[in-house]
Amino acid sequence: QVQLVQSGAEVKKPGSSVKVSCKASAGTFGSYALTWVRQAPGQGLEWVGGVIPMFGSSNYAQKFQGRVTITADDSSTTAYMELNNLRSEDTAMYYCARGSDLEGLDPWGQGTLVTVSS
């Protein structure tokens, strides 16, 4: 069973960028996709976007278009989510999970807390 391990917590200033990583324990991503979901404190889940490493293709929620970039490096089985021009409303736990737009997401990474504060 593949496991997803994410990078550690980040504290960022408004206007800056953050790049969160998600490493799969398996030797390769294979044909599966990875999805990023965020959860603001005390709030529900929100889809950010996803990537299919085999094809190098990504898609994003309209809300984040132009501010987010999701990539994957099959050689290191690591996916990345970079969010630019951070604002306080971006303070949230960011999760990666295996699965495409159509699939159930399983498993999930442990989450990375991103705090945006001046």
Interface contacts to another protein, rule CB under 8 A: 35, 37, 44-47, 50, 59, 61-62, 95, 97, 101-111
**Least distance (Å) from another protein to the CB of residue 92?**
13
Residues 6 or more apart whose Cβ sits within 8 Å of residue 12 = 18, 86, 114, 115, 116, 117
**Least distance (Å) from another protein to the CB of residue 16?**
26
Sign of the alpha-carbon torsion through 85, 49, 91, 78: negative
Query: Measured from the CB atom, is 50 or 53 closer to another protein?
Result: 50
**Least distance (Å) from another protein to the CB of residue 70?**
13
Biggest alpha carbon–alpha carbon distance for the chain: 41
How far is residue 100's CA from residue 68's CA, in Å, rounded to a whole number? 18
Query: Measured from the CB atom, is 76 or 110 closer to another protein?
Result: 110
Query: Measured from the CB atom, is 18 or 33 closer to another protein?
Result: 33
**Least distance (Å) from another protein to the CB of residue 45?**
4
Query: Measured from the CB atom, is 18 or 97 closer to another protein?
Result: 97
Query: Edge-to-edge, what's the strand order for the sheet holding 78-83?
Result: 4-6, 18-24, 78-83, 68-73
Kind plus residue range of the DSSP H or E element containing 80: strand 78-83
